[in-house]
Amino acid sequence: MAAGNAPPRICPGCRRLVTGRCRICDVEPRAPKQTKDATYGLRERNRRADTVAAWVKMHGFTCPGWQRPPHPADDLSADHIIARRLGGPQDGPLQVLCRQCNSAKGAKLPVPVVAGLSVVLVAGPPCGGKSRYLRDHAGPADLIVDYGALAVALQLGAASHEQRDAHRPFICEARDAILDRLMMGNHHVRRAWVVNSGAKRIDRDHYRRRHGAHVVLVHSPEDVCLARAQGQRPDAWTKYIRRWFAEYEPDERDELVRGYEPG
């Protein structure tokens, strides 16, 4: 661009607005430094600070970890689950990580996030009250992806709550296909609930990583779940309940809810 057509800049010497080289100081003003995100203002900084404050209030100075276990950290910060440079929205959901985990995350492909969409995983033991929790919290426009409901739909003629191991791969694939479509966007769903027992930490982490899910664990004591199953569920449910409690791994990132009656 010719000097006469260049936009005016501030001379670093005399602080006058000049075009091209300053005639007084005989220096060439440098281009103004470009920020990474011109919209990263007070409102966004406050949003991030509030996110960290809420996390510390609930979990203390603990980093949830990025591809590593949770650990103490005093350098927590909130950042977009999907970076702006990769197409994430400015007001997209945030996650709290320490500086080291945040740097490690920046080198990985982030979770795909649809603007305005929140995903909640409702986990817990069989007969623990997950269905009742959903009735109290899910709205009429929410999408509910329930393994048990899919099993009933695909196992035509089977009794309610009956599960057949031979059908399990097809039920899981149907559930995953719905969730993958959900993450593609181009729909009007704003909140989705996924119902899965999720006894193991790695199973719940799958939904955190792949769908950016918030995990609610609806928990009831084992003897209570067994008592609820008697006369209301097939005999095999006793095995399912005992297996869940044998495999259960707690995680401080889960929102733990107690006291719900089964649906």
The predicted-structure confidence for 208-247, as pLDDT tens digits, reads as follows 888 889 999 998 899 999 998 887 787 888 999 999 999 9
Domains delineated in the chain: 42-106 (no CATH), 118-258 (3.40.50.300)
Measured CA distances, 2 to 20, 251, 259 (Å): 9, 62, 74
Q: What is the pTM of this model?
A: 0.56
What per-residue confidence (pLDDT) applies to 167? 77
Q: What does the pLDDT read at residue 11? A: 61
Q: Among 128, 113, 54, which Cα is nearest to 82's?
A: 113
Give residue-wise pLDDT tens across range 5-22: 555 565 666 656 667 777
Q: Which of 61, 220, 22, 32 lies closest to 125, judged by CA?
A: 220
Q: Which residue has the higher pLDDT, 33 or 68?
A: 68
Q: Supply the pLDDT for residue 34.
A: 39
The confidence score (pLDDT) of residue 79 equals 81
Cβ atoms of 105 and 97 closer than 8 Å = yes
- pLDDT attached to residue 148: 82
